[in-house]
Amino acid sequence: MFDSKVLVTALLLGSAPLALAQHDTTASARAVMPERPTVATHAFTVASGYLEIETGGERDHFAPSTNGLSFPTVFKIGLAKRAQLGVDVPFTKTPGLSTGIGDVSVGIKYRIVDDAPLLGAFAILPAIKAPTGDDQLGRGTGTTDVSVLAISSHRFGDLSMDLNVGYTRRPSNDAAPTSATLWTASFGGPLAGQLGWVAEVFGYPGTGGSSGQAPTVAILAGPTFLALESLAFDVGVIVPVRGPQPHALYAGLVYNVGRIFSVR
């Protein structure tokens, strides 16, 4: 959903349907390339020299009368034909506390191949997370984390599929485990006209230590709407299957600002 779980486990167009345009390498440079609402991301990158912004909100329901809010914003800049810089700036509101900035992440997605026999379009996304959030208020882990995400994207007619596997490493800390992993399988396709759909199953294998957590598996689903070639919206729900993942509602948008610098 609209959160930074892709980069850190607590520790994601044109006239084509939204879910398929991110897999269309012939699309316009202004066509949005949404990496959310899903926890998963795809292997494709924003056009060289272009800026795209994703933002939104998620409401997590932990218990009766106990809810948390998150408002992440990701700035994506095309560095080259196969490379994209991503800067994730989250704001969070933990139950009973005020809203504040969370841990900022910076990563570079690099697509290695476009159409391999088994991997499809394959990319890696190494990233580093800084302890900019107040860990005493539950807005961060208080650690500098290093992570890497392996991304495999495929297209089967009108159906798109993205598979992710990730690993995060951080210093020893009582707020979060020293290492964590994640996996996702995301699917999308058209509904009618500018409406599309997305569905995903994702999980965080269990971690050990004093801050360890039980394994988590959850399902995400919702519609998408392409308002313009450069602007798309989404809403949906997250439902836990097992583990501590809360029920959640999300809504957000992605906007391709356009070219901000020229690449030779």
Give the pLDDT confidence of 57-113 residue by residue, as tens digits. Answer: 999 988 777 888 899 999 999 999 999 999 999 998 877 777 899 999 999 999 999
167 exposed, middle or buried (CB, 10 Å; 0-12, 13-18, 19+)?
middle
* Domain membership flag for residue 169: yes
pLDDT value of position 95 = 74
**Using CA of residue 43, residue 201, residue 250, residue 229, what is the dihedral sign?**
positive
User: Given a cut of 50, is residue 10 above it in pLDDT?
Assistant: no
Nearest to 211 by CA among 246, 176, 260, 168: 176
Choice among 8-12, 18-22, 34-38, 198-202 with the minimum mean pLDDT: 8-12
* Domain membership flag for residue 264: no
Owning domain of residue 165:
18-259
* Domain membership flag for residue 5: no
Instruction: Specify the higher pLDDT residue, 186 or 5.
Output: 186
The pTM assigned to this predicted structure is 0.87
Q: How many domains does the chain have?
A: 1
CATH number of the domain enclosing 184: 2.40.160.40
* Domain membership flag for residue 28: yes
* Domain membership flag for residue 11: no
C-alpha to C-alpha distance for 236 and 250, rounded to whole angstroms: 6
Distance of CA 44 to the CA centre of its chain: 13
Question: Considering the chain, what is the average pLDDT of its residues?
Answer: 86
* Domain membership flag for residue 206: yes
Nearest to 247 by CA among 214, 211, 215, 219: 219
Amino acid at 106: V
* Domain membership flag for residue 161: yes
* Domain membership flag for residue 12: no
